[in-house]
Amino acid sequence: MPRDADRTRRGILAAAIDEFAANGYAGARIDRIAARAAVNKRMIYHHFGGKRALFEAVLADRLATGAPSAELVRLWMYEALERGDDDIVRLSERTALAATRIDAIRSAQARGELPPELDSALLALARTAVEVFPLAFPQLVRVVTGRRAASPEFHEAWSTFMRDWQRSGASQLPTKPRLRLDRSRVSQAARRPTAPTPRTPPR
Protein backbone atom coordinates (compact mmCIF):
# COMPACT_ATOMS: atom_id res chain seq x y z
CA MET A 1 0.00 0.00 0.00
CA PRO A 2 1.47 3.43 -0.92
CA ARG A 3 2.57 5.58 2.01
CA ASP A 4 -0.11 8.25 1.47
CA ALA A 5 -2.84 5.64 1.23
CA ASP A 6 -1.59 3.97 4.40
CA ARG A 7 -1.55 7.32 6.20
CA THR A 8 -5.11 7.99 5.04
CA ARG A 9 -6.27 4.58 6.21
CA ARG A 10 -4.67 5.04 9.63
CA GLY A 11 -6.23 8.50 9.94
CA ILE A 12 -9.68 7.12 9.14
CA LEU A 13 -9.20 4.29 11.63
CA ALA A 14 -8.14 6.68 14.41
CA ALA A 15 -11.17 8.90 13.74
CA ALA A 16 -13.46 5.87 13.66
CA ILE A 17 -12.14 4.62 17.03
CA ASP A 18 -13.09 7.94 18.63
CA GLU A 19 -16.49 8.05 16.91
CA PHE A 20 -17.53 4.47 17.68
CA ALA A 21 -16.25 4.67 21.27
CA ALA A 22 -18.20 7.89 21.84
CA ASN A 23 -21.46 6.97 20.07
CA GLY A 24 -21.56 3.22 19.53
CA TYR A 25 -22.23 1.47 16.23
CA ALA A 26 -25.79 2.74 15.80
CA GLY A 27 -24.97 6.32 16.76
CA ALA A 28 -21.74 6.64 14.79
CA ARG A 29 -21.89 8.66 11.56
CA ILE A 30 -19.67 8.27 8.53
CA ASP A 31 -19.92 12.05 7.98
CA ARG A 32 -18.38 12.75 11.38
CA ILE A 33 -15.65 10.16 10.84
CA ALA A 34 -14.78 11.76 7.52
CA ALA A 35 -14.68 15.18 9.15
CA ARG A 36 -12.47 13.95 11.99
CA ALA A 37 -10.08 12.32 9.52
CA ALA A 38 -10.24 15.30 7.14
CA VAL A 39 -11.05 13.06 4.18
CA ASN A 40 -13.85 12.67 1.68
CA LYS A 41 -16.52 10.08 2.56
CA ARG A 42 -15.64 8.18 -0.59
CA MET A 43 -12.22 7.43 0.87
CA ILE A 44 -13.83 5.61 3.79
CA TYR A 45 -15.81 3.37 1.46
CA HIS A 46 -12.73 2.89 -0.72
CA HIS A 47 -10.52 1.73 2.15
CA PHE A 48 -13.05 -0.11 4.34
CA GLY A 49 -16.12 -0.79 2.22
CA GLY A 50 -18.72 0.49 4.67
CA LYS A 51 -19.72 1.18 8.25
CA ARG A 52 -19.80 -2.43 9.46
CA ALA A 53 -16.42 -3.24 7.94
CA LEU A 54 -14.99 -0.10 9.53
CA PHE A 55 -16.42 -1.10 12.92
CA GLU A 56 -14.84 -4.54 12.54
CA ALA A 57 -11.51 -2.90 11.72
CA VAL A 58 -11.81 -0.73 14.84
CA LEU A 59 -12.48 -3.76 17.06
CA ALA A 60 -9.61 -5.67 15.47
CA ASP A 61 -7.27 -2.74 16.07
CA ARG A 62 -8.26 -2.38 19.71
CA LEU A 63 -8.15 -6.13 20.33
CA ALA A 64 -4.57 -6.19 19.07
CA THR A 65 -3.49 -3.81 21.83
CA GLY A 66 -3.52 -6.60 24.43
CA ALA A 67 -4.83 -5.29 27.76
CA PRO A 68 -8.33 -3.79 27.78
CA SER A 69 -8.42 -0.02 27.36
CA ALA A 70 -11.17 2.46 28.14
CA GLU A 71 -11.93 2.75 24.43
CA LEU A 72 -12.15 -1.00 23.95
CA VAL A 73 -14.40 -1.41 26.99
CA ARG A 74 -16.77 1.27 25.68
CA LEU A 75 -16.84 -0.52 22.33
CA TRP A 76 -17.67 -3.79 24.09
CA MET A 77 -20.47 -2.11 26.03
CA TYR A 78 -22.02 -0.57 22.93
CA GLU A 79 -21.69 -3.89 21.14
CA ALA A 80 -23.45 -5.65 24.02
CA LEU A 81 -26.28 -3.10 24.16
CA GLU A 82 -26.89 -3.15 20.43
CA ARG A 83 -26.22 -6.78 19.55
CA GLY A 84 -26.15 -8.87 22.71
CA ASP A 85 -24.49 -12.19 21.97
CA ASP A 86 -25.83 -12.39 18.41
CA ASP A 87 -23.90 -11.43 15.31
CA ILE A 88 -20.60 -11.02 17.18
CA VAL A 89 -18.01 -9.15 15.15
CA ARG A 90 -14.99 -11.32 14.25
CA LEU A 91 -16.17 -14.10 16.52
CA SER A 92 -13.57 -16.65 15.41
CA GLU A 93 -10.64 -14.27 15.97
CA ARG A 94 -11.90 -13.22 19.38
CA THR A 95 -12.56 -16.82 20.36
CA ALA A 96 -8.96 -17.61 19.44
CA LEU A 97 -7.72 -14.77 21.66
CA ALA A 98 -9.86 -16.05 24.53
CA ALA A 99 -8.52 -19.57 24.01
CA THR A 100 -4.97 -18.23 24.38
CA ARG A 101 -5.85 -16.77 27.76
CA ILE A 102 -7.60 -19.95 28.86
CA ASP A 103 -4.53 -21.99 27.87
CA ALA A 104 -2.35 -19.70 29.97
CA ILE A 105 -4.60 -20.32 32.98
CA ARG A 106 -4.50 -24.08 32.41
CA SER A 107 -0.71 -23.90 32.38
CA ALA A 108 -0.77 -21.98 35.66
CA GLN A 109 -3.10 -24.62 37.11
CA ALA A 110 -0.73 -27.37 35.99
CA ARG A 111 2.16 -25.57 37.74
CA GLY A 112 0.14 -25.38 40.95
CA GLU A 113 -0.22 -21.60 40.79
CA LEU A 114 -4.02 -21.75 40.49
CA PRO A 115 -6.50 -24.27 41.91
CA PRO A 116 -6.99 -27.10 39.40
CA GLU A 117 -10.57 -27.59 40.63
CA LEU A 118 -11.68 -24.30 39.08
CA ASP A 119 -13.02 -24.22 35.54
CA SER A 120 -10.30 -22.54 33.47
CA ALA A 121 -12.71 -20.76 31.12
CA LEU A 122 -14.77 -19.35 33.99
CA LEU A 123 -11.60 -18.29 35.78
CA ALA A 124 -10.47 -16.46 32.63
CA LEU A 125 -13.87 -14.76 32.46
CA ALA A 126 -13.68 -13.76 36.14
CA ARG A 127 -10.23 -12.26 35.67
CA THR A 128 -11.41 -10.30 32.65
CA ALA A 129 -14.38 -9.01 34.62
CA VAL A 130 -12.15 -7.79 37.45
CA GLU A 131 -9.74 -6.10 35.04
CA VAL A 132 -12.49 -4.41 33.04
CA PHE A 133 -14.71 -3.22 35.92
CA PRO A 134 -12.91 0.09 36.74
CA LEU A 135 -12.88 1.01 33.05
CA ALA A 136 -16.56 0.21 32.59
CA PHE A 137 -17.84 1.78 35.82
CA PRO A 138 -15.59 4.68 36.86
CA GLN A 139 -18.43 6.20 38.88
CA LEU A 140 -18.55 3.14 41.15
CA VAL A 141 -14.79 3.28 41.58
CA ARG A 142 -15.16 6.80 42.97
CA VAL A 143 -18.13 5.85 45.14
CA VAL A 144 -16.31 2.90 46.72
CA THR A 145 -12.71 4.16 46.89
CA GLY A 146 -13.06 7.93 46.77
CA ARG A 147 -10.62 8.04 43.86
CA ARG A 148 -11.13 8.66 40.18
CA ALA A 149 -10.57 5.60 38.01
CA ALA A 150 -8.32 7.58 35.65
CA SER A 151 -6.13 8.96 38.44
CA PRO A 152 -2.51 7.76 38.81
CA GLU A 153 -3.19 7.01 42.49
CA PHE A 154 -6.00 4.59 41.72
CA HIS A 155 -4.13 3.05 38.80
CA GLU A 156 -1.13 2.31 41.02
CA ALA A 157 -3.30 0.95 43.84
CA TRP A 158 -5.36 -1.20 41.46
CA SER A 159 -2.28 -2.58 39.68
CA THR A 160 -0.73 -3.51 43.03
CA PHE A 161 -3.97 -5.12 44.17
CA MET A 162 -4.25 -7.18 40.97
CA ARG A 163 -0.68 -8.45 41.33
CA ASP A 164 -1.19 -9.35 44.98
CA TRP A 165 -4.57 -10.95 44.29
CA GLN A 166 -3.23 -13.10 41.49
CA ARG A 167 -0.22 -14.13 43.58
CA SER A 168 -2.12 -15.02 46.71
CA GLY A 169 -5.88 -14.61 46.91
CA ALA A 170 -6.68 -16.02 43.46
CA SER A 171 -4.42 -19.01 44.01
CA GLN A 172 -6.19 -20.21 47.13
CA LEU A 173 -9.21 -22.40 47.21
CA PRO A 174 -12.28 -20.76 48.70
CA THR A 175 -12.88 -21.85 52.27
CA LYS A 176 -16.01 -21.96 54.35
CA PRO A 177 -16.55 -18.68 56.18
CA ARG A 178 -15.64 -18.86 59.84
CA LEU A 179 -18.03 -17.70 62.52
CA ARG A 180 -16.68 -14.47 63.95
CA LEU A 181 -17.79 -13.56 67.41
CA ASP A 182 -18.33 -9.98 68.45
CA ARG A 183 -16.10 -9.99 71.55
CA SER A 184 -17.58 -6.80 72.99
CA ARG A 185 -21.09 -8.23 72.86
CA VAL A 186 -19.93 -11.52 74.34
CA SER A 187 -18.26 -9.62 77.18
CA GLN A 188 -21.38 -7.57 77.82
CA ALA A 189 -23.52 -10.68 77.86
CA ALA A 190 -21.15 -12.27 80.37
CA ARG A 191 -21.44 -9.27 82.71
CA ARG A 192 -25.20 -8.95 82.35
CA PRO A 193 -26.95 -9.94 85.62
CA THR A 194 -29.16 -12.95 85.37
CA ALA A 195 -32.41 -13.49 87.18
CA PRO A 196 -31.97 -15.49 90.37
CA THR A 197 -33.07 -19.06 90.20
CA PRO A 198 -36.24 -19.46 92.31
CA ARG A 199 -35.80 -21.65 95.35
CA THR A 200 -38.08 -24.52 95.96
CA PRO A 201 -39.90 -23.92 99.26
CA PRO A 202 -39.27 -26.55 101.93
CA ARG A 203 -42.00 -29.08 102.49
Reported as a single tens digit per residue, the pLDDT across 150-159 is 999 999 999 8
Average pLDDT over residues 97-105: 92
24/80 Cα distance (integer angstroms): 10
89/63 Cα distance (integer angstroms): 12
70/34 Cα distance (integer angstroms): 23
pLDDT > 90 fraction of the chain, expressed in percent and rounded = 41
Q: What are phi and psi of 89, to 5 degrees?
A: -70, 130
In single-letter form, the type of residue at position 151 comes to S
Average pLDDT over residues 74-90: 84
Could you state, in order of their start, the residue ranges of all structural domains in the chain?
Answer: 3-65, 137-168
Q: Ramachandran region of residue 92, left (φ > 0), alpha (ψ -120 to 50) or beta?
A: alpha
**Mean pLDDT for the chain overall:** 81
**Which residues, 6+ apart, have CB-to-CB distance to 48 below 8 Å?**
12, 54, 57
In CATH, the number for domain 3-65 is: 1.10.10.60
7/39 Cα distance (integer angstroms): 11
- Band of the pLDDT at 201, cuts 50, 70, 90? low
Which regions of 47-177 does DSSP assign to beta strands (E)?
A: none
Q: Over the stretch 128-186, which tens digit does the pLDDT of each residue have?
A: 899 899 999 999 999 999 999 999 999 999 989 888 877 764 445 444 433 343 445 44
